[in-house]
Structures are given as C-alpha cells and as structure tokens.
Amino acid sequence: MSQRTERRGGIHVDQSDLLCKKGCGYYGNAAWQGLCSKCWREEYQRVRQKQIQDDWALAEKLQREEEAAYASSHGPQTQPHPQSTAAQPHPGHASLGPFSKFEEKKTNEKTRKVTTVKKFFSPSSRSAPKKDTQEGKTPSPSMSRRASFDTDQVSKDFVDFLKNLQKPGREIHKQCRAFIVNMSSKKTQDLSADELSECVQDFYQNLADRLMGHFKGSSESVEQVMDQVEKYIMTRLYKSVFCPETTDDEKKDLATQNRIRALHWVTIEMLCVSMDEEIPEVSENVVKAITDVIEMDSKRVPRDKLGCITRCSKQIFSAIKTTKNEPASADDFLPALIYIVLKANPPRLQSNIQYITRFCNPSRLMTGEDGYYFTNLCCAAAFIEKLDAQSLNLSPEEFERYMSGQASPRCNNSEGDWPNADPAPTPINPVLAQLNHNLEVLSGLSSRQESLMEAAQSLQADLLSWPDSVQREVHNILEKYPLEVLSRNVSAIDDNDADNDNLPPPLTPQVFAG
C-alpha cells in the first residue's frame, strides 16, 4: 500500500499496480486497499468475523471475571474471613471497569450483536423458575441503547452494593439483569403502561418475598436492597417506560401545563395560604420549594423523584412555620403546596406522577413520609385540574373574568388593600423595592435618552444650517469685495526696475577718449 501511494505520486502507473493484489487477474481499487471487489469482500468478512469472535471472547472472559469476583466474595460458604472481604473490592473494580467500557463501546457500533452476546450471559433460563415473565427470547437492540455515563455509574454502584451481600447479592444481580433483558425485549408499544407497571411491581414483590423467605433477610435489609434494585432497574428502563407512547400522559402534561398557565392570576390569598412572602426567609423557602419540585423531572429513579417532592414539602413546612410561628398542619400544607405547584408549573407533572405511581416500590408510596407528600402532590394536581370559582371563594363571574384575562386580581387587591400605598410605596418587600428601584433607573434612563435625542437633533439642525451659513458668509464676502480685475501695469521687460532684479546694471557705453 505504502509503495503504491509513493508511486502514485508519479505520473506513470504500472499495469501491475492496477490489478488486484490477490493476483486474481481483475483490476483492483484503491478504496478496497488495492483489491478487486470480490477479494475485498472476502477479506473484509474475515476481519469482521475475527473481531466478532474476539469481542465474544472478551465478553465471556469479563463475565467469568465478574462471576469469579462474586464467587470469591462468598465462595467458601463458611465464615467470611476478613482477608477475603478486604480483597474483594479490587477484582470487582478491575472486572467492572473494562466491562462497562466494553459495553459502551459496543453499543455505539454493533447493537444487535451485543444483545445476542448479552443474551448468552443473561441467566434467564436458570434463575427465578417461578416467574413466567422470563420467557423473553429475543432481546431487542433497545436494551443497550442507552449506555450513558449515568447508567454505567448506577450499574457500578449496584454491583458494588451487592458485593457486600455475598450469596443473595449474586442472586439479586442475576434476577435484575434477567428482568431488564426481559423487559426490554418486550416492545413498549405492545404493552400498556399498566401492564408494564404490573411487571415491575410483580418483580419487586417476588424479589422481596424471595429475599424475605429464602434468604431470611430482615425487613430493614430487604428494604435497603429493594431501594438499590429499584434504582438500578428504573435507571435502565427509564427511557422506555417514562411517559410511554401507549398512554395519553403527554397530552395530560400539556393540558396541565396550559391549565396552570391560565391560572397565573391566582393569588396566595385566594388559596388561603398561610405564608407571608414578605418575610425574606419565607420567600427564600418558596423559591427553593419551587426549584425542588421542578427538579423532580430531571431524576430517573422514582425514589429520587419522591426525594425532590419531600424536599419541596420540607421547604413549605419551614415557610409556614416561619410565618405562623407554629408547626404546620395539613390544613396549611396542602394549599401552600398547591400554590407552589401553580407558581412552579413543574415540567411533565402528570407523567412524573404516573411514573412514580407505576414504578415506585409500593410500600414506600402507600405508607411512608415520602408517600404522604406524594399523595399531597397528587391532590394538588387534581385540585388544580378541577379548580373552579367555588374553590377559590370567588363568584363565577369574577372567576370567568380572571380566566379570560379581562381583569387581574392583583391590581384590584393593591387598590383595595393599600389605598395609600401609591404616593409613597414603602419598600417592605425586597422584590417590590427592587422593582421600584428598577423603575427609577428606567425613568432616569429615559430622560437621559430624551436629552440625548434633543442634543442630537440640534446637532443635526446645526449641521444642516452650517453649509448655508458658510455659503452666506462667502456670498457676503464676495459681495463686499467684488472681484475686480485690476488692470495692472504690464511691466515691460526692460522696465527699469533696478531694485527688483538683481541684475547688474546694464552696461552703459562708455566713450573712451581716445
């Protein structure tokens, strides 16, 4: 190849250079590395096949390493002596690092092939004999579609976590992998969201039961494991099960979003919220609460989403507490949450609610603190959807006027509540103060702008009149001093001008007496 390119630099090309390198008699092509099309195809297939086999071997090796890491962590079945526990993270890391890298690299290129490779290793046939959901035969390419950093990180964390669990850890890992393969083999379009949800919930239930029954785990440790399992599984499945196409979640999202936009005029007083936003701490809490509830959309794991809701709720509680100097009750909390949701207009609210409802571990959703706040959020969403004049203590006419944008309650209120606020707006609220300040700056700017405009205009006028004035002046001067052609004395060449020319005086004839 190299000599060929060298020679190609020259003008003359040998006939032999044009022929196929394999010497089959056909002409070769530079694009096929000097081979003819037939030989090139053969060569290419061979290389490809080899690569596939290499990949296969690598995957197999890594899988064995991974399994060995598990085996070493609980292999001797006896008491785990300290040395082995200390050593176990290392092989784990070593095997995991290249594996995730391998996975990422592969998914970029040959998605199909990798899934088949994975299928080989996924212990779908061996594990969980009682589960009928294990029958997925053809893993679709979609499962390894996302090998983003997030997913890799989560997989890594998950494996690390399971390593501490010895034998059950291995079992859990197997089950989860099998489940993910199985889930992604099902086309999302084929299953309704409820069926997907049921699959996931069944899996949680079965795994939890198994951990409780078979491995005799305490309820706390099982819960801990289930949290990790949920995190792992839902991170992997997020794309395919969040807001699936089979549902009208997206439509509802849009409807809710528009609804909240249309309700922009709802004031804190109408909802009877006991939060005083003029207290700086409270308004800070409100801002944080809004941020938290918006952040919910960016999380993948249901539990993380719940965490956002809980943080948001805590902010609201502290806001109410600051305002009233008392811990808040549900009577205060729910209106405040509704207010926050109205202000935040969280993206994809309905999808998120549905997603959490479908795929969160049910025990947490139904009983725990997170569940309580989530229920309140559902309630707030439902309230906003059904909100009418009565629920805001307004007359239907007023409600209608506000909805159509003909009137704004804020103006009415400010006139009614603070009649003498206008002459001297006392900057109680930092926001208002800022607003006033901005207005002052703006009016200052506009007056300066005006004076600048005036100056510019006078300058323009000046400039326009300047040529005139110059012209006039010139004219005047011309008139004053009309052009007179003075008939100058034409000086003769021989004019006697002895002073001017330094010529020596003409020679005068001198008579020499003689």
Partner 1 sequence: MSAMRVDAKVVMLGKESVGKTSLVERYVHHRFLVGPYQNTIGAAFVAKPIQVGEKVITLGIWDTAGSERYEAMSRIYYRGARAAIVCYDLTDGSSFQRARFWVKELQNCEEHCKIYLCGSKSDLIEGDRSLRQIDFHDAQDFTDEIGALHFETSSKTGNNVDELFQKVAEDYNSTAFQYMTAEETGVDLGQKKDSYFYSCCHNN
Residue 94 β-bridge partners: none
Q: Which stretch binds partner 1 (CB under 8 A): 176-184, 332-340, 483-491, 500-508?
A: 332-340
The answer to whether 436 contacts partner 1 (rule: CB under 8 A) is no
147-186 residues near partner 1, rule: CB under 8 A: none
The site for partner 1, by CB under 8 A, has a size of: 44
Element (H, E) at 84: helix 82-87
Burial status of residue 160 (CB atoms within 10 A of its CB: 0-12, 13-18, 19 or more): middle
Q: Which residue number, 84 or 206, has a Cβ lying nearer to partner 1?
A: 206
| Helices and strands in the chain: count of H runs, count of E runs | 20, 0
User: Residue with structure tokens 């939060």?
Assistant: 275
Q: Which residue number, 164 or 219, has a Cβ lying nearer to partner 1?
A: 219
Cα–Cα separations (whole angstroms), residue 394 to 57, 381, 397: 72, 20, 8
Least distance (Å) from partner 1 to the CB of residue 359? 11
The answer to whether 391 contacts partner 1 (rule: CB under 8 A) is yes
The answer to whether 373 contacts partner 1 (rule: CB under 8 A) is yes
Are the C-beta atoms of 296 and 352 separated by less than 8 Å? yes
Q: Which residue number, 65 or 198, has a Cβ lying nearer to partner 1?
A: 198
The answer to whether 246 contacts partner 1 (rule: CB under 8 A) is no
Residue 374 CA to residue 282 CA, distance in Å, equals: 22
Identify the residue among 367, 449, 465, 471 touching partner 1 (CB under 8 A).
Answer: 367
Identify the residue among 70, 99, 203, 333 touching partner 1 (CB under 8 A).
Answer: 333
Candidates 274, 376, 279; CA nearest to 327 is 274
The answer to whether 375 contacts partner 1 (rule: CB under 8 A) is yes
Least distance (Å) from partner 1 to the CB of residue 161? 16
Q: Which stretch binds partner 1 (CB under 8 A): 107-115, 376-384, 446-454, 506-514?
A: 376-384
Q: Which residue number, 144 or 313, has a Cβ lying nearer to partner 1?
A: 313
Taking only Cα atoms into account, the Rg of the chain, rounded to an integer number of angstroms, comes to 44
Element (H, E) at 172: helix 167-185
Least distance (Å) from partner 1 to the CB of residue 139? 28
Identify the residue among 53, 153, 258, 329 touching partner 1 (CB under 8 A).
Answer: 329
Identify the residue among 94, 262, 382, 428 touching partner 1 (CB under 8 A).
Answer: 382
Q: Which stretch binds partner 1 (CB under 8 A): 45-53, 137-145, 277-285, 357-365?
A: 357-365
Residue 240 CA to residue 414 CA, distance in Å, equals: 49
Cα–Cα separations (whole angstroms), residue 466 to 20, 461, 473, 476: 85, 8, 10, 15
The answer to whether 328 contacts partner 1 (rule: CB under 8 A) is yes
The answer to whether 327 contacts partner 1 (rule: CB under 8 A) is yes
The answer to whether 81 contacts partner 1 (rule: CB under 8 A) is no
Q: Which residue number, 329 or 491, has a Cβ lying nearer to partner 1?
A: 329
Are the C-beta atoms of 1 and 34 separated by less than 8 Å? yes
Residue 321 CA to residue 324 CA, distance in Å, equals: 5
Identify the residue among 116, 390, 438, 491 touching partner 1 (CB under 8 A).
Answer: 390
Residue 176 CA to residue 174 CA, distance in Å, equals: 6
Residue 175 CA to residue 126 CA, distance in Å, equals: 10
Least distance (Å) from partner 1 to the CB of residue 206? 12
Inter-helix orientation angle 280-295/302-324, to 10°: 170
393-432 residues near partner 1, rule: CB under 8 A: none
Contact residues: partner 1, CB under 8 A: 194, 197-198, 201, 219-220, 223, 274, 310, 317, 324, 326-335, 353-354, 357-358, 362, 366-373, 375-376, 378-379, 381-383, 386, 390-391
